[in-house]
Amino acid sequence: MVQSADRPFLRLFVTPSVLVAGGFVASLAAILQYSLRAYIPGELEPGGFSLSNFAELLKPLYARAFLDTVLICAETAFFTLLLAYPLAFALVRTKNPVLKSVLLVTAVTPLFLGEIVRTYSWIIVLGNTGFVNSLLKAVGFINQPIQMMFTTFGVVVALVHVTLPVMVIMLAAAISHIDRDYEKAAASLGAGPLRTFLTVTLPLSLPGIVAGVTTSFAWTFSAFATPQLIGGGQVSTISTLVYQLGFANFNFPFAAALSLAGIVFTVLVIALLRRAAQPLEKMGGHA
């Protein structure tokens, strides 16, 4: 066993992460204590102990917000996977260094732009006088602009752009670890390129798919800027409701309760996804 004397910098390296974890715990504790306080209309300071905030969560309005958020997260993860897999596959398998560099820059650059910048760019693209509507009008496909802003469709499109880089990175890592000898063996037994991909490559990349979809789902569930700006208050998610309750109505106790419910709900959904995906991961590991 390695003694602590052999790792003189261990404590120094661990200290920042401990401090960050302590900050997260303190923040969650503050949210918890706010969620257990009563809301007093017209007052910024909450009242005494109360469980009424959690009873309010049972109303259909908030149940619908949870359902809508889950559907948006699922759609985002699905379409992100459809776009990211071919990009990740080409990134790993291409032998042309120029093409590989172009694909890498295309996949990773959005991470350095920031969510706000990317969201505003989609406002320009999806607006009634934006790029898409202007192009469709120019070629004569439409006479009136198609409403894409302030819709679920617009929110999903922008969120796919937000989660795409992370999905590509995870899929590329999984695909790069696939032993090409398995594919060669399948080809030698008469399998064509499509059958080889479906029976060998795709199953072996399932751990990366599961990790990417799970991360995309969790990231989308907590997204605020994109649903708020693209949805314009017309598309309700848990994060936008928390903002409206806390900073528009100053109902901080209920906003805190809704935040805690969102955290618990996210953990439960991800746990269910991971449990449901375990057979797929095992199949991918033994394919």
- What is the per-residue DSSP string for 214-239? HHHHHHHHT--HHHHHHHTTSS--HH
Nearest to 227 by CA among 262, 191, 192: 262
Q: Are 150 and 232 in contact (CB under 8 A)?
A: yes
* Rounded distance between C-alpha atoms, residue 133 and residue 138, angstroms: 8
Q: Dump the DSSP string for 71-84.
A: HHHHHHHHHHHHHH
CA distance 77 to 89: 18
Name, in order, each residue with C-beta under 8 angstroms of 255's C-beta and a sequence gap of 6 or more. Answer: 34, 242, 243, 245, 246
Q: How confident is the model at residue 168 (pLDDT cuts 50, 70, 90)?
A: very high
Average pLDDT, the chain: 83
Most confident range (mean pLDDT) of 9-13, 152-156, 240-244 is: 152-156
Give the C-alpha separation, 162 to 80, whole Å.
9
Has residue 1 got a pLDDT over 50? no
- H/E segment holding residue 39: none
- Residues near 227 by Cβ (< 8 Å), separated by ≥ 6? 72, 155, 159, 235, 237, 239, 240
CA distance 188 to 93: 19
Classify domain 54-286 at the CATH superfamily level: MetI-like (1.10.3720.10)
Q: Which residue carries 């080809």 as its tokens?
A: 187
Question: pTM to 2 decimals?
Answer: 0.81
Separation between Cα atoms, residue 188 and residue 127, nearest integer Å? 52
- The answer, yes or no, to whether residue 194 has pLDDT greater than 70, is yes
pLDDT tens figures, 62-94: 888 888 888 999 999 999 999 999 999 988 888
Cα–Cα distance for residue pair 134/119, rounded to 1 Å: 19
More confident residue, 275 or 71: 71
